[in-house]
Amino acid sequence: MGGVLQLPKPMPKPVTNVMDQTITSVSREHRIFRPSAEFQRQANLGSLSAYKKLYEESVNSPEKFWRREAESHLVWRKRFTDVLKWTPPHAKWFTGGRLNIAENCLDRHLGTARENKAAIIFEGEPGDVRTITYRQLLFHVSRLAHVFENLGLNAGDRVAIYLPMVPEAIVAMLACARIGAVHTVVFGGFSPEALKARINDCKARLVITADGGWRRGKIVELKANVDKALEGAPSVQTVLVLRRCRNEVSMRDGRDIWWHEAWEGGPNIHKAKAFDSEHPLFILYTSGSTGKPKGVLHTSAGFLLGAKMTAQHVFDLKENDRYFCSADIGWITGHSYVVYGLLSNGATVFIYEGAPNHPEPDRFWRMIDRHGLTILYTAPTAIRAFMRWGDNYVLRHRLDSLRLLGSVGEPINPEAWMWYHTMIGKKRCPIVDTWWQTETGAIMITPLPGATPLKPGSATLPFFGVVPKVVDSLGHEVPRGTGGKLVITRPWPSMLRTLWGEDDRYKRGYWGEFPGHEDYYFTGDGARQDKDGYFWIVGRIDDVLNISGHRLGTAEVESALVSHPAVAEAAAVGKPDDLKGQSLVVFVTLKAGIPPGDALKEELRAHVAGEIGAMARPDQIRFAAGLPKTRSGKIMRRILKEIATGGEVRGDTTTLEDFSVVASLQAEE
């Protein structure tokens, strides 16, 4: 692995001296931006050699490295005995140890200078602001933990959280962690159907929701969605409802209770129990290549260690930082880099409830100035939207509090990187392009801002303890500069432990890709390494799409479509899109006698949004007499992709059953 760390000797120009050239493709991207001396001086890790030294230790003496890090970063009630028990593909980290995750995020800061420091600064979409200190956050979490216990909730019980991006969402997660209940946060943009499927899969006993949340000046009716979902979810005994928008909701006797009523009068002191290092912390559903979402299971100590260490190093956290991550807590980014990784470090986290362009497209910049935010972590799709909305919205604001920028969720194209760097970062702020996944729990490939020279479009080098490789279909490492499949060849503390109730799917889906290499974790991504060992992520190479930074399975969309009575068969593909990264194009064959038409297209779009959520609404629907298939009946997505992109159908079509299908598809529209 040492080779990954070889970097070009003469280090090119500093940040302020940018070559002015237009880059259209990452394969022609040669610019390098070194951290400025000023940033390096104040950084937690201020040189490439310091990174290399620690990295080498982490992969050459992992036992020693992880023991030390786990002992120093986490508050243990009982010390662990073994660092790792690894029987591929099952890992147990820090066995024998006991700890409480909420205590690691809250109680540890009390009695220190952080006690009255802001843990959360919240701005609602209407402009309401709340600041919650660490002491206050512990007070809220303790009381809610009592509410949970009074409801009879036990360690290991599942709790579904379906809330807007408000402080109570964080309180709810931490209160679960405090009593050892397993949370599954469902993004508020998911439909009742999607919510129901997730509740049923993990058999949640409690659902926590709100009357509504604000989005572009309108109320998203979360409680009404829960009511619909619960028509078919018998495991749920109680619904705890937060009052946020004061919209009217119906409360069912014996099942639904108001948060503020349940919360009244209880004790403020909650003695947290200690749980095993491997006690389940949360399940987070994500899209896979088959129709059913995967319940990624993360456990306690390893997850928290990964989230905490990466947050500290990647965001170069300082006591005075005010950190803003624009992800919703319904995604892994919210779990690791709004809640656990940041609060365990005692950081101040800024959260925002609503849309980035409400009431105007400068909302983020206004909030950065208003609150003096120092770090911004967002997605390339948002950056491209800001670019499109125009520089004038940015230039009205100072943005002088910012010192570091981050990117996550999809490859960032060099044009967006440069805009982010010059327009938002004023050429002063390093950009950390962080590659990771729901499954990895924490950032895996990333620059460390005081150490790593940046190349726009590259996630650069692995984090401590992470050993990625780019391999061919047999699992052999490919030469530098050659594309291949991205794998992680060693276990890491924040890795997923299994898929909830589907251990076989876990084994097959992540560890079965390369016969003879059953200890290689397959990421589903394509990548290449350049001559300096830098990783360039190409994107998904399985049947998973990345639309505006959201993962969506083609099979999920297809099964939503075929559940409509007019549809016989459907195939979903991604089409490159300047704004969203990929847009969603679906090919549909209708049942005999059903006439195609625009009204039906609209109906099908709404149907998919209703089955999954608005983020899955197809951008384009194309009716087809038939879909191209292999002789064995498999839909040839590659061909559909070429048709969707408007290109000629090239490549091998010899296995195609009936070429006339392709000809008629191309003739359409």
d(CA 303, CA 284): 13
* Listed residue (266, 274, 277, 282) closest to 142, CA to CA: 266
In the complex, the smallest distance separating the C-beta of residue 640 from ligand PRX, rounded to whole angstroms, is 20
461 binds ligand PRX (CB under 6 A): no
- Using CB under 6 A as the binding rule, whether residue 286 contacts ligand PRX is answered as yes
Residues tagged in the binding site annotation: 215-218, 333, 357, 409-411, 433-438, 525, 540, 548, 551, 562, 564, 567
Asked if residues 148 and 156 have their Cβ atoms less than 8 Å apart, the reply is no
The pairing of strands 620-623 and 581-590 is: parallel
- Contact (Cβ atoms closer than 8 angstroms) between residue 209 and residue 163: yes
What is the gyration radius of the CA atoms in the chain, in angstroms? 25
Distance separating alpha carbons of residues 79 and 4, to the nearest angstrom: 34
In what helix (H) or strand (E) does residue 546 lie, and over which residues does it extend?
A: strand 544-547
| Residue recorded with tokens 């508020």 | 188
Q: Is 483 one of the binding residues for ligand PRX (CB under 6 A)?
A: no
- Choose between 181 and 448: whose C-beta lies nearer to ligand PRX: 448
Extract the tokens encoding 235.
């495991």
Q: Give every CB contact of residue 75 below 8 A, 6+ residues apart in sequence.
A: 99, 103, 104, 107, 108
Q: Is 551 an interacting residue with respect to ligand PRX (CB under 6 A)?
A: yes
Q: Is 458 in the site for ligand PRX (CB under 6 A)?
A: no
What DSSP state is assigned to residue 232?
G
Q: Give whole-number Cα distances, 72 to 276, 356, 645, in Å.
A: 18, 38, 52
- Residue from 104, 299, 344, 438 touching ligand PRX (CB under 6 A): that is 438
Residue 362 engages ligand PRX in binding (rule: CB under 6 A): no
292-296-299 Cα angle (round to 5): 160
**Toward ligand PRX, which CB reaches closer, 355 or 541?**
541
Q: Provide the mask over 61-90, with x wherever binding to ligand PRX is found by CB under 6 A and - wherever it is not.
A: ------------------------------
Exactly one of 324, 419, 436, 463 binds ligand PRX (CB under 6 A); which one? 436
Rule CB under 6 A: is residue 524 a binding residue for ligand PRX? yes
Q: How far is the CB of 546 from ligand PRX (least distance, A)?
A: 5
Question: Minimal CB distance to ligand PRX: which residue?
Answer: 438
Closest separation in Å from C-beta 115 to ligand PRX: 32
Decide the pairing of beta strands 348-352 and 118-123. Answer: parallel
Name which of 452 and 523 has its Cβ closer to ligand PRX.
Answer: 523
* Alpha carbon distance 578, 547 (integer Å): 11
Residue type, 658: D
Smaller CB separation from ligand PRX, 435 or 500: 435
In this chain, which stretch among 13-21, 184-192, 262-270, 532-540 interacts with ligand PRX, using CB under 6 A? 532-540
One of 459, 487, 639, 661 touching ligand PRX (CB under 6 A)? 459
Binding mask 381-420 for ligand PRX (x = CB under 6 A): ---------------------------xxxx---------
Strands (E), 8-53: none
Q: Which C-beta is closer to ligand PRX: that of 244 or that of 550?
A: 550
Which residues in this chain contact ligand PRX in the complex, by CB under 6 A? Answer: 286, 332-333, 408-411, 433-438, 459, 523-525, 537, 539-540, 546, 551
